[in-house]
Amino acid sequence: MSIQHALWLKSDETRAVIAALEKARAGSARFVGGCVRNTVLAQPVDDIDIATQLTPDQTIAAAKAAGLTAVPTGIEHGTITIVANHKPYEVTTLRRDVETDGRRATVAFTESWEEDAQRRDFRLNALYASPDGTIHDPTGGGLDDARAGRIIFIGDAQTRIREDYLRILRFFRFNAWYGRGPLDEKGLAACASLKGGIADLSVERIWKETKKLLAAPDPRDALNAMERTGIREIALPEADRLGRLERLIALEADFFFEIDAMTRLAAALPSQASARALARRLKLSNDERDRLTAALGEDVRVVSFLSMRETRRAIYKLGRRTFEDRVMLGWADDPKDKTATMWRALLALSATWEPPVFPMNGDQVIYAGVPAGPLVGEALREVEAWWIDSDFPDDQLALVERLKAVAQALG
């Protein structure tokens, strides 16, 4: 089989990188991993990885000789990033594992494509393609797995997992993205028997895999398998509201809503306290923590009964993102057909109504006679509250009259 039709394979940047490597040594470079797998599956390709028989030093020299930028982003593991016309390509020397501890590996370079394939995780990720697009499948099962939607470990599943326990989470993530039908029983059993190794992983790696898993089109089967095996309880102990998460995913599919991993995670959390606990444990960014806790604020089910005026007020006070998160969580709690029209109307208003900017500042308050100091802020808050309650009138005269009344009362 060949993927010679792939547009990324024919791009000027790709050709420049390959030409540089091939000039140093003919036949020394092949594309590998996701770019090959996704092209076989007719799915988008985001990153282009290249495997090479050149050593890292030879890769750097080849890039420089061709006038390309070479950055030693992971040189201790053989990875050099070559940049062509601002587009990065990760070029990694063929490797074999010398020693592993479940988190990191000591590697030795090799010239064997088969040895390099054997240290990878799943057979569908060990597909290589020559510069002309010819596919190579060293494990003998990768191409069939990709077509059939099977996620199968290379060789012995337990051995692959002991090399890096993150592969447990990757097993579920890849099933969510590329799997069809029941999860591979041997792989699932190996993940279940070695799940304790997840505790030894860095929380940053766990969070990265979690976000990728939750961003899959439909991760419900994978999440349920994690739940059955007790792996969810180890990796994401706070996220135990799988019922609401499943209902949210079903709504997204039924109404063609955009997938948002953070909204999905919020749906799986029972409270703001659990959101804060997860954020601390997995070292989420402040923005991610705030997003989750805001989504899990007051009971969102009452949102469905808001009037248009009350809805605009809620969008203004909460912000569009938080309002829509709460609507989606409320809908997942109350997914009855008879309420669907109300929930959709709320989302439609949020998408089309642009909250106005409060048209008043402190200078205007002082000009109205309020002395500089804390009273300025108090006056602004009172006028803004009136403006919001009045449904955001675009009437400067009415605002000035209200400010005068507030200034007089404070005086």
Residue 352 structure tokens: 């089309």
pTM confidence score? 0.91
Mean pLDDT of 267-281: 98
pLDDT in tens, 299-327: 555 556 788 999 999 999 999 999 999 99
Reported confidence tier of residue 239, pLDDT bands at 50, 70, 90: very high
Interatomic CA distance for residues 47 and 383, integer angstroms: 52
Residue 342: is its pLDDT beyond 60?
yes
Q: How far is CA 234 from CA 149, 165, 188, in A?
A: 27, 13, 15
User: Which tokens is 244 given?
Assistant: 């609401």
Reported as a single tens digit per residue, the pLDDT across 65-83 is 999 999 999 988 899 999 9
CB 235 within 8 A of CB 211: no
Question: 193 pLDDT band (50/70/90 cuts)?
Answer: very high
Query: What percent of the chain lies above the pLDDT cut of 90?
Result: 89
Q: Could you identify the residue written with the tokens 């959101």?
A: 275
Tokens of 131: 């510069």
- At residue 54 the predicted structure's pLDDT band, cuts being 50, 70 and 90, is very high
- Output the average pLDDT for the chain: 94
pLDDT above 70 coverage of the chain, percent: 97
Give the pLDDT score at 113. Answer: 97
Rounded (10°) angle between helices 320-333 and 308-318: 120
Give the DSSP H or E segment for 20.
helix 12-24
Cα 223 to Cα 244: distance, rounded to the nearest angstrom: 13
Q: What is the pLDDT of residues 130-145, one digit of tens each?
A: 999 999 999 999 999 9
Q: What is the pLDDT of residue 99?
A: 65
Q: Report the alpha-carbon distance of residue 36 to residue 124 in Å, rounded.
A: 9
What would the pLDDT profile of 87-110 be if each residue is shown by its tens digit?
999 999 999 877 666 566 677 999
